[in-house]
Structure 1
Amino acid sequence: MSLLHRAQFTVSAARLDQLPAPTTAEVCFVGRSNSGKSSAINVLANQRRLAFSSKTPGRTRLINLFGIPDPITPDAWLGFLVDLPGYGYAAVDRSSRDEWAEVLGGYLHERASLAGVVLLIDIRRGVTDLDRRLARWIALRGLPTLALLTKADKLPYGQRIQAAARVRKELADIGTLTALPFSATHRIGLDEAAVHIENWISPQAVP
């Protein structure tokens, strides 16, 4: 069983100073509103409603942490999956967008326990200007990044491979980047994505 299946909701925070102390590895999920972020977290954790998506895109403002319990040490965590607010939804007022950008940028720049980034990109839309801006933030810290190209079931296999190659080229500044076609509904790329994330959280637990 994947260690991600043990994930459980731990805490929500509206600001960075409300987060728990950075004591163990964190893997954050970030992407445009409607990119399939919540669905990806749920299928990776093998749970239907671990992460919630707002009915109104762009309205989720909280950072949600899902802890993975340490099977050996009681009341301890192996690591956390971190669901960051979505970005780029035009209907949200500018002050709110600026506030979210500050939270996202602050987390990516300052969080000492951040071990890896899962960047979700709709495979049909490709890399947007906002994705590129986010990639520059990630590149500043040299964080390993897994680009999940969501909704891959909407394209035939050959186009998926071409899309992944384009993303690797366009986001080459990140450095350590893996681009993977992914579908939560059809479970495309699920096992490979899980292994990447498990390695960031607990390398010794992955064969």
Structure 2
Amino acid sequence: MSTPRVVEAAFIKSAQSIADSLPEDMSEVVFLGRSNVGKSSTLNSLTQRKNLAKSSATPGKTQLINFFETRYLYNEESYPVRFVDLPGFGYAKVSKSLKEVWQKNLVEFIQHRVSIRLFIHLRDARHPHAKIDDDVEAYISEFIRPDQKYLTVFTKIDKLNQKERAKLKKDFPGSITLSNLKKNGHDRVHQMILETIFGVEDGTKSKSDSVEENEEKE
């Protein structure tokens, strides 16, 4: 059985809100997380493109919703998916008015964007119990649809020792730990994307576009 891999990835458009976003004509994976969690690095690493997502030297500078069209190849079958990079949350150095507009636009997007199938919440492994991350997860759980899934992915796992990693897995069962440096955990993220959106599991493709039962893998 082959390993899922992204064979095409391209930036398509930036948008300020759901109103000027792309048409909802493709299943989407949304990446969200704090401003310094490493979203750009993770997107680049997952797609094996060095500069697909531009990282800023100033956390919180990117305030737009960025769309990337990607294509997976798995067991000689092609699977098109759109990746959506949301602005990082929790950064204080934006003006109050901009922050209010940004939050309103983001809330509207994540609540009403029909094409979102998977939320990938990137959390810093060094600060696993950050309140802002807990609040975001609790908030999205209030309106997440049956055809959507929420996946917690911990970045910067290289910064933890073995004991800390074991505690992290115990505290967050079902989560995925990611090392962009060593490329660990990427295959599990790819598999979860294909399972959630296409029903691909153990090398088989379901005819249904949704997954009724999706067991989380340890």
TM-score using structure 2 length? 0.80
Partner of 1:137: 139
1:141 counterpart SS class: coil
Of 153, 162, 165, which aligns to 1:157?
Answer: 162
Deviations 1:155-179 (A, max 9, x none): 12331131133245xxxxxxxxx31
Verify the 8 A CA contact 1:25 1:200 in the aligned structure 2: no
- Tell me the matched-pair count: 194
Q: In structure 2, what residue type is equivalent to 1:190?
A: H
Whether the aligned pair in 2 keeps the contact of 1:79 and 1:202 (CA below 8 Å) is no
**2:153 aligned residue (148, 157, 160):** 148
Question: Is there any run of 5+ residues in structure 2 with no aligned partner, and where?
Answer: 74-78, 204-218
Change (3 A) 1:70 1:153: closer
CA contact (8 A) 1:165 1:179 kept: no
Cα separation, 2, equivalents of 1:6 and 1:110? 27
Give the Cα–Cα distance (whole angstroms) in 1 for the partners of residues 191 and 106 of structure 2.
25
Residue by residue over 1:25-67, the C-alpha shift from the partner in whole angstroms, topping out at 9 and shown as x without a partner, is: 1000000001011111111101111111111111101111111
Q: Is the 8 A contact 1:199 1:206 kept in 2?
A: no
% identical equivalent positions:
31
Q: Taking structure 1 as reference, are residues 167 and 69 closer, same or farther at Cα in structure 2, changes over 3 Å only?
A: closer
C-alpha deviation, 1:183, in angstroms: 1.4
Q: Check 1:160–1:205 CA distance in 2 against 1; reply closer, same or farther (3 A cut).
A: closer
Q: How far has the Cα of 1:200 moved from its partner? A: 2.9
Q: Indicate how the Cα distance of structure 1 residues 20 and 183 shifts in structure 2: closer, same or farther if over 3 A, else same.
A: same
Determine the C-alpha separation between the residues in 1 that align with 2:202 and 2:31. 20
Residue in structure 2 matched with residue 25 of structure 1 by the alignment: 27
| Higher helix residue share | 1
- Structure 1: runs of 5 or more not aligned: 72-76, 169-177
Flag the 1:84–1:157 CA change in 2: closer, same or farther, 3 A.
Answer: same
CA 1:57–1:70 in 2, change beyond 3 Å: closer, same or farther?
Answer: closer
| 2:196 match | 200
C-alpha distance in structure 2 between counterparts of 1:21 and 1:146, whole Å: 24
> Relative to 1, partners in 2 of residues 1:94 and 1:52: Cα closer, same or farther, differing over 3 Å?
same
Contact 2:5–2:72 (CA under 8 A) maintained in structure 1? no
Partner AA of 1:161 in structure 2: A
Return the alpha-carbon distance in structure 2 between the equivalents of residues 197 and 161 of structure 1: 25
TM-fit CA distance, 1:121: 0.5
Tell me if the contact between 1:68 and 1:80 (Cα under 8 Å) persists in the aligned partners: yes
Answer yes or no: is 1:113 the counterpart of 2:118: no
Cα deviation, 1:112-162, whole Å, max 9, x if unaligned, reads 011001100000011322212211232121431121110001112331131
- TM-score for both structures, normalised by structure 1: 0.84
- Following superposition, the deviation at residue 106 of structure 1 comes to 1.2
Deviations 1:71-104 (A, max 9, x none): 8xxxxx8220000000111222222222222222
Aligned pairs (5 A) from 1:1-207? 2-69=4-71, 78-139=80-141, 140-142=143-145, 143-168=148-173, 178-204=174-200, 207=203
Letter of the aligned partner of 1:50 in structure 2? L
- CA 1:191–1:204 in 2, change beyond 3 Å: closer, same or farther? closer
Tell me the distance in 2 between the aligned counterparts of 1:70 and 1:192: 14
* Bigger Rg, which one: 2
Q: 1:147 to 1:204 in 2, by over 3 A?
A: closer
